[in-house]
Structure 1
Amino acid sequence: MPRPRVHDLDHLLDVAERLVVDGGPEGLTVRGLAAASGVSNGAIYHAFGSLPVLLGRLWLRAAEELLNLQIELVDAARGDGHEAAVEAVVAAASAPAVFADRRPMAARLLMTTRRDQLLGPQVPEELAEAMFALDKRLMMLLSGLARALWDRADRAGVEVMTLCVVELPTAMFRRTLTAPSADGPPEVAADSRERLKAAVRAALTLPPPPPHVG
């Protein structure tokens, strides 16, 4: 059986993404995906090997796209001085809302489904390594932002960046991005975007706690 072409794989992942968002990861089956996508069961197994692998690749695709967007927005906001460093953090924090504009189903997937819900013992080593590499790239982004702002990238500094870039956007955008909508994909309101930016700027007025010693 020939391996599906790349665009066919993207189509399969797009359909699986929608099914997971609508019914949760436990509701995705190979038979249901085959019916919804028009791709045979055999072709799906040939492409991914197992359902856990498909789910892992689905999460990884969305998370990589979001991280790439964060890096893109941070690079565009970079400049000299403290204010430019603050705006780079604000840009990274705003990325989930921009991502939701571009890829609403992927944004909903990341907001509604934890990575550990999609992973299982059947995930191959290469997929686990790809996820580890993604975590490393995120840590490099957070560390770089902390270093640019405070000239330090210790644990306390990275924790503040995590609050600004990961935790605050999740808390402020989750309700919108997970709510059902009869009028198409939900959009993050301009007011929510501006309040997030204000919250991030406020959080950055305080430096991180002193580095832990001992």
Structure 2
Amino acid sequence: MPRPRVHDLDRLLDVAERLVADGGPERFTVRSLAVASGVSNGAIYHAFGSLPVMLGRVWSRAAGDFLDLQTELVDAVWSDGPESGVRAVVAAASAPAVFADRRPEAARLLMGVRREQLLGPEVPQESAEALFALDKRVLALLTRLARGMWGRADGPSVEVVTLCVVDLPTAVFRRELTGPAVDGRPRVGADSRERLAAAVRAVLALPLPPPHAGRTAASGKE
């Protein structure tokens, strides 16, 4: 059986992404993907090998594209000015709303489905390596933002950045990104975006906790 072409694989992943975002991972099967995509069960298994591998690809692609956009938004406002760090953190925090404009199904998937819920306890090696690489990218971005804000990237500073770019956007945007869609697309309103930016700026205006003992403020290393 011939392996589907690259653009066919992307289309399969698009359909899988939508099905998981709509019905959750517990209702997703190879059969449901075959019916929705018009691709046979055999061709799907030939392309991905197993359902866990395919779900790993779905998640890794969505998360990787989101990180690409988040980095793009940070780069667009990054400079040496005193407000650069704040602008960069606000830009990173806004990424889920911007991502929803560009990739609605992927945004709904990332906001509405936990990675562990989708992939389960036994992650295939191929998926585990991809996820590890994504985790390293996330940490690198958090560290970069912390250094841009305070010239340090120790535990307390990275935790504050994480609050701003992970916890607050999840709390503010989740309802709109996981609720009923308009014309099949989730919409994050201007009011929510403005309130998130205000909340992030308020958090960043507070004094930063001191570095952990044994860490240097400049390097964040032991």
Q: What is the correspondence of 1:29-108 to structure 2 with a 5 Å cutoff?
A: 29-108=29-108
1:102-142 per-position Cα deviation (integer Å, ceiling 9, x unaligned) = 00110000111000011135532122111111100110000
Q: What is the correspondence of 1:42-191 to structure 2 with a 5 Å cutoff?
A: 42-120=42-120, 123-181=123-181, 183-191=183-191
- Residues 138 and 16 (structure 1), Cα distance of their counterparts in 2 relative to 1, 3 Å cut: same
> Aligned AA for 2:54?
L
Alignment-derived partner of residue 199 in structure 1 = 199
Tell me the TM-score normalised to structure 1 length: 0.96
What is the CA RMSD across the aligned residues, in angstroms?
A: 1.2
Q: What is the correspondence of 1:14-25 to structure 2 with a 5 Å cutoff?
A: 14-25=14-25
176-185 vs 36-45, which deviates more? 176-185
1:181, distance to aligned residue in structure 2 (A): 3.0
Asked if the contact 2:147–2:153 (Cα under 8 Å) also holds between the matched residues in 1, the reply is: yes
Can you give the 5+ residue segments of structure 1 that lack an aligned partner in the other structure? none
Q: After the TM superposition, which segments of 4 or more aligned residues of structure 1 sit over 4 Å from their partners?
A: none
How high is the sequence identity, in percent, across the aligned residues? 74
- Partners of 1:11 and 1:48 in 2: CA distance: 13
- Partners of 2:76 and 2:131 in 1: CA distance: 26
Asked if the contact 1:85–1:145 (Cα under 8 Å) also holds between the matched residues in 2, the reply is: yes
- Partners of 2:182 and 2:97 in 1: CA distance: 20
Asked if the contact 1:78–1:84 (Cα under 8 Å) also holds between the matched residues in 2, the reply is: yes
Asked if the contact 1:17–1:106 (Cα under 8 Å) also holds between the matched residues in 2, the reply is: yes
SS of the residue 2:116 aligns to? helix
- Partners of 2:143 and 2:107 in 1: CA distance: 24
1:14-33 per-position Cα deviation (integer Å, ceiling 9, x unaligned) = 11111111111011111111
- Partners of 1:177 and 1:101 in 2: CA distance: 11
- Partners of 1:169 and 1:182 in 2: CA distance: 20
Asked if the contact 2:18–2:105 (Cα under 8 Å) also holds between the matched residues in 1, the reply is: yes
Tell me the TM-score normalised to structure 2 length: 0.93
Asked if the contact 1:150–1:207 (Cα under 8 Å) also holds between the matched residues in 2, the reply is: no
SS of the residue 1:173 aligns to? helix
Alignment-derived partner of residue 10 in structure 2 = 10
